[in-house]
Chain A
C-alpha cells in the first residue's frame, strides 16, 4: 500500500523554521546590533561618561555630542553605550533566573502531586501576595554591604539586582509550567513513554518539558522588559546601582523632569529600551514557533 509523504526533503530543522519567521529574524538582527554597539561602541566613541561641562548643558544633538547632553553636560551617547551593557545584562540575566527558578518549581510541583505540589503552590501564592517594594528594601539593606564587601561594589550590586528582580518574577513562570505539566503528563505519548519504562527524569526532559516550553518562552521574553524597567525603578529609589552609573532606566528617570526642554534626553534611552524589548519579543515568538515542528509555513 502507498504510505507516507513520498520522497520529499527531510523535515526542516529548528533553525530553518526560525529563519522563515521574518519578524524574528529582524528582531535577531536588531538585538545583535544593539549588543554589538553596546559592547564595541565605547571602544570607538571614547568620550568619558562623567565629564561635566556646563557650557554644553542640555545641548541638542550635534557633531560634538551626537545624542546631545544631559543637565550636567555629560555626553549622552557615551552614557547610553555604557548603560546599555548594564541594562541588557541585567534584563537577560534576571530573565534567566526567573525562568530557571520558575521552571524548576513548576516542574517539581506538576510532577509531584499531593502535599509537595500544594506546598510549592502555597509558596508561589505567598510570593505573589508579598508587597514587592518593602521586600526589596529589606533584602537590599540586609545583603548589600555583605555582598559588595565580598565581590566589589559593581559586581555585588549587579548580582543582588539580578537575584532580587529574577527572584521576584519566577511565580508566573512556575504557575504556567505547573499547569502545562498537569495537562501534558496525562497525554498518551507520556503514558507511552511510561509504558516503555522511561524514568521520570526522561519523561520530563524528553517529553513533557519540550511540549511545555512554548508559553514559557513568551513569558520569559516579556520578563526581560520587566527586568530592565525594574532595575531602573530600583536605581531611581537609590537601591540599585550608584547614581553615577548610567543605566537606560536611570537615564530615562533623570530625563523625566526635563521632558519639555530637552526631549532628546528621554527619547534615546526610551528608544533603546523599546527596541530591545520589541526585538526580544519577536525572537521569543520565532523561537516558540521554531521549536514546534508542527508549524510549517
Chain B
C-alpha cells in the first residue's frame, strides 16, 4: 500500500476555559482527544458524530485554521504542523475547505467573480486579469453556475447555488484534499443530492480526496469510502463504508445507524435509543467516554480505562472493551 495522502496521528486540541470569573483553576475542553486516521489519494473519509464531538475542530486543525495542541498531521509526505510560513502558504493550495453555512461563508460585499478569483490572486495563478476571468468562468460552469453570474453578489443566490460558489472558490487553487465541513447539512434534501453528486463528479474528474464531515450517517453513506465515527473528541470506530453499515461494532455506531429512518411502510426496525445527553466535554466521564450512555452491558473496566482502537477485521477498527 502506498503512503496515504493525509495521515493524522493522535491529534489533540484543548481549549482553555475558566469556570468562573474569579476562579483560578483553569479547565480545558478536550475538543479533539487523540484522533488518528488516514485519507488516501482520491478517497473520501466520512466523519460523523453529534454536534460538539470535535469533528469540525479536527477538520480545522488539519488545515491549521486552528492550531492543534498535539499530535501529528502528515500531508503528502510533509509534516503540516512543522511548516514555516512559506510551506504553509503552499499547503493552502493543496488543502481547501467548504463550509456548512452557505450564507456566512461568502463575503456579502464581493461579487462572485471576485470571490472565486481571490484565491488565484493570492497564489499568483493565471497570467493576467483576463486569464483569471476566463478561469473563473470555467470554474463556475464546472460547478453548474453560469459565467454571467460572475458580476452578481452572493445574496442573489439560493443556498445550493451559494454552496456551489463555495466549491468553485475551493477548486480555484486546484487542491488535492477538500475538507467538507457539513457542506450539505444546511441544504434541502433535493439540493443536498445535487451538491453531493457534484462533489462526486469532481472527485472522479480531478482525483480529489475529501474529508466529509456530517452529523448523520445517511448523508455520508453514498459518498464515503471509509467512515470514522466520533464521540466526545475521540474516534470510536473506523471502517470501510459498506463494512460499517453491514457490521457496526461499537454500540454508539449501532445507535446512530438504527436512527436512520427507512422509507418503507410497514417495516419495523428495532431502534436503539440512546439515553441522556452528551456529557460535558470539560469533565468527560473517565474510561470509555461513552460508558454513561452505553446500552450494552457494562464492565467495571469501561468506567476506568480508556479503550484503545483495535482491529476487529481487515480495515475495521473499534474502540470498545466489549467488542473487537
Contacts from A to B (Cβ < 8 Å): 1, 3-5, 7, 10-11, 187-189, 191-199, 202, 206-207, 210-211, 291-294
CB distance from B106 to the nearest CB of A (A): 6
Of B106, B110, B144, B152, which contacts A5 at CB under 8 A?
A: B152
B191 vs chain A, min Cβ distance (A): 10
From A11, A189, A194, contact of B153 by CB (8 A): A11
Interface string of B80-116 (1 = CB under 8 A from A): 0000000011001101110111001111111100000
Our pick among B88, B107, B157, B161 for the contact of A189 (Cβ within 8 Å) is B107
**In the complex the two chains form, is A10's CB within 8 Å of B151's CB?**
yes
B97 touches A293 (CB 8 A): no
A143 CA / B151 CA spacing, docked (Å): 52
Interface: B148 (CB within 8 A): yes
Could you tell me the distance between the alpha carbons of A139 and B153 in the complex, rounded to whole angstroms? 48
* Residues of chain B whose beta carbon lies under 8 Å from any beta carbon of chain A: 63, 65, 88-89, 92-93, 95-97, 99-101, 104-111, 118-119, 122-123, 144-146, 148-149, 151-153, 155-157, 161, 164, 166, 169, 173, 194
B144 & A3 in contact (Cβ 8 Å cutoff): yes
Closest residue of chain A to B103, judged by CB?
A188
Name 14 extra pairs, CB < 8 A, besides A196-B122, A294-B155: A1-B194, A4-B145, A5-B152, A188-B105, A189-B106, A191-B65, A192-B166, A196-B92, A196-B96, A196-B169, A196-B173, A197-B123, A199-B122, A294-B153
Tally of A-B residue pairs with Cβ under 8 A? 92
7 closest residue pairs by CB, A with B: A197-B92, A188-B105, A293-B153, A10-B151, A188-B104, A189-B107, A210-B109
B108 and A206 within 8 A (CB):
no
The answer to whether A1 and B144 have CB atoms under 8 Å apart is yes
In the assembled complex, the Cα of A5 lies from the Cα of B162 at a distance in Å of: 12
Q: How far is the CA of A210 from the CA of B114 in the complex (A)?
A: 14
Contact at B93–A198, with CB atoms within 8 Å? Answer: no
Check if A206 sits within 8 Å of B118, measured CB to CB.
Answer: yes
For A187, the closest partner residue in chain B by CB is B104
| CB atoms of B108 and A188 under 8 A apart | no
Residues in A whose Cβ lies below 8 Å from that of B155: 293-294
Given contacts A10-B151, A189-B107, A294-B155, contact A195 B146 (CB under 8 A): no
How far, in angstroms, from A138 to B63 measured CA to CA in the complex?
54
In the complex, which of the residues A7, A187, A192, A210 has the most CB atoms of chain B within 10 Å of its own CB atom?
Answer: A192
Are B149 and A4 touching (Cβ within 8 A)? Answer: yes
Q: Are A193 and B152 in contact (CB under 8 A)?
A: no
Q: Are A198 and B161 in contact (CB under 8 A)?
A: no
Question: Which listed residue (A4, A7, A11, A202) contacts B122, Cβ 8 A?
Answer: A202
- Are A11 and B156 in contact, CB atoms less than 8 angstroms apart? yes
B166 (CB) vs chain A CBs: closest residue: A192
Nearest CB of B to A195, in Å: 5
Give the chain A neighbours of B145 by CB distance below 8 A: 3-4
Rounded to whole Å, the gap between the CB of A25 and the closest CB of chain B is 22
